[in-house]
């Protein structure tokens, strides 16, 4: 579904326009256009139905643990991750839908052609209701998150489990404990949404900030002002908090969170620090050293394994130590690969969030122009 939204292109622009000499075939063209657009809209309807079902299940899952006494027997860490990953999928679908200006344009043509071709059909009331629901879904920014919020608070409040999830996210990010880059990015993407959902009233805000000091949240959002999304899109926690505050009125009083700078608002002094952090060029020496050191230790561990296989009646403790060392080395290798891959994703997100608008001042005019052309692309 994410791929479908990401690759969506305007159908209307590809459809032929009738010349004046063929105006008598207008009805046929409307029917053909409707059939083409109906196929695309049926896929968007499927996304609408799926997100409604997923939001309902996620809300029901959270309501099972919506009181402190129910947290005694769960949820487990695996359960935490299942809830966070489902929330992340809903968030990314919403973000992709928001990014596609061609979808509402195609829908307006679809509705217009439906009006023309349905005049001869029987009982179109149900179809019109579905069309109206789909129009609201496609034209409303963050419609999926708003629907999730409505599902969550339909029967009873879920602030307790939301706060538990926020604490889990914050502690995982601060400790950076065995997080691969997709998991780290998942936590960074969902944390702003969880904070907005959990501050549904002033009382709940106070309760949240007793468990998680606001400075801890601010530090996380400042350390990662841009987060990779699907696949070359990016999310900014500061921009998300500001935009969602207009839909969640109780959150609009959270001044310290709402005054965080978006990527294009970062002051020049801080900008240099972020450039040093995000651009891989500044970390190549460290990465090469890590790679060379790991390669030597990995080759040594492999040699020990070969020696172990060739020796008969090896001591059990010695054998266990060699195999344990091999296991730890392989795990470390995957963690290094994950860290380096994450750096590539994060540099891309940073560059997409701050494209070069003017050629930098340079001694060489040619180098300057080349750099500017590259950034424009």
Residues 6+ apart with CB under 8 A from 232: 348, 352
Local confidence band at 201 (pLDDT 50, 70, 90 cut-offs): confident
**Under a CB-based contact definition with an 8 Å cutoff, are residues 12 and 109 in contact?**
yes
Name the residue range of residue 192's domain: 157-266
Is residue 244 within 8 Å of residue 193, measured between CB atoms? Answer: yes
Residue 228 forms beta bridges with which residues? 234
35 shares its domain with 119: yes
Question: Does one domain contain both 245 and 280?
Answer: no
Whether residue 162 sits in one domain with residue 146 = no
Q: Band the pLDDT of 374: cuts 50, 70, 90.
A: low
Same domain, 241 and 97: no
Per-residue model confidence (pLDDT) at position 202: 76
pLDDT tens digits, residue range 6-15? 999 999 888 8
Residue 158 has what pLDDT? 85
Number of structural domains in the chain: 3
For the chain, percent of residues with pLDDT exceeding 90: 66
Burial of 288 (0-12, 13-18, 19+ CB in 10 A): exposed
In a domain, 360, yes or no: no
With beta carbons less than 8 A apart as the criterion, state whether 129 and 36 touch: no
Query: Do 172 and 32 share a structural domain?
Result: no
Q: Which of 212, 232, 266 is the last residue of a domain?
A: 266
Residues 130 and 184 occupy one common structural domain: no
Is residue 78 located within the same domain as residue 214? no
This model's pTM is above 0.75: yes
In a domain, 173, yes or no: yes
* Of the residues 150, 170, 202, the one at which a domain ends: 150
Per-position DSSP letters for 200-266, written without gaps between them: SSHHHHHHHHHHS-HHHHHHHHHH-S-EE-SSS-EE-HHHHHHHHHTT-GGGGG-HHHHTSPPGGG-
- Which of 214, 248, 266 is where one domain is finished? 266
pLDDT for position 358: 62
């Amino acid at each position: 579904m994410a791929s479908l939204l990401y690759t969506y292109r305007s159908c209307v622009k590809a459809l032929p326009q009738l010349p004046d000499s063929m105006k008598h075939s207008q009805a046929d063209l409307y029917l053909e256009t409707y059939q083409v657009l109906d196929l695309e809209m049926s896929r968007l309807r499927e996304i609408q139905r799926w997100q409604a079902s997923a939001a309902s299940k996620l809300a029901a899952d959270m309501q099972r643990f919506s009181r402190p006494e129910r947290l005694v027997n769960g949820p487990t860490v695996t359960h935490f991750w299942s809830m966070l990953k489902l929330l992340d999928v809903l968030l990314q679908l919403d973000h992709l839908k928001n990014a596609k200006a061609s979808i509402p344009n195609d829908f307006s043509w679809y509705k217009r052609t439906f009006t023309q071709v349905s005049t001869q059909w029987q009982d179109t009331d149900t179809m019109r209701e579905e069309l109206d629901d789909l129009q609201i879904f496609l034209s409303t920014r963050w419609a999926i998150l708003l629907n999730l919020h409505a599902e969550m608070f339909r029967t009873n409040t879920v602030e307790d489990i939301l706060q538990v999830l926020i604490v889990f996210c914050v502690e995982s990010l601060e400790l950076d404990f065995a997080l691969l880059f997709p998991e780290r990015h998942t936590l960074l993407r969902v944390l702003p949404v969880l904070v907005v959902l959990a501050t549904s009233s002033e009382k709940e805000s106070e309760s949240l900030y007793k468990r998680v000091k606001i400075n801890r949240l601010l530090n996380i959002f400042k350390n990662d002002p841009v987060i990779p999304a699907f696949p070359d899109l990016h999310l900014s926690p500061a921009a998300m908090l500001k935009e969602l505050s207009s839909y969640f009125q109780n959150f609009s009083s959270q001044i310290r969170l709402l005054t965080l700078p978006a990527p294009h608002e970062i002051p020049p002094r801080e900008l240099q620090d972020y450039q040093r952090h995000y651009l891989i060029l500044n970390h190549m020496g460290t990465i090469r050293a890590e790679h060379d050191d790991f390669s030597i230790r990995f080759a040594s561990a492999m040699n020990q394994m070969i020696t172990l296989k060739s020796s008969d009646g090896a001591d059990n403790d010695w054998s266990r130590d060699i195999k344990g060392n091999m296991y730890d080395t392989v795990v470390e290798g995957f963690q290094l690969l994950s860290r380096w891959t994450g750096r590539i994703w994060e540099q891309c997100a940073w560059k997409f969030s701050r494209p070069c608008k003017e050629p930098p001042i340079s001694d060489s005019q040619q180098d300057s122009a080349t750099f500017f052309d590259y950034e424009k692309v």
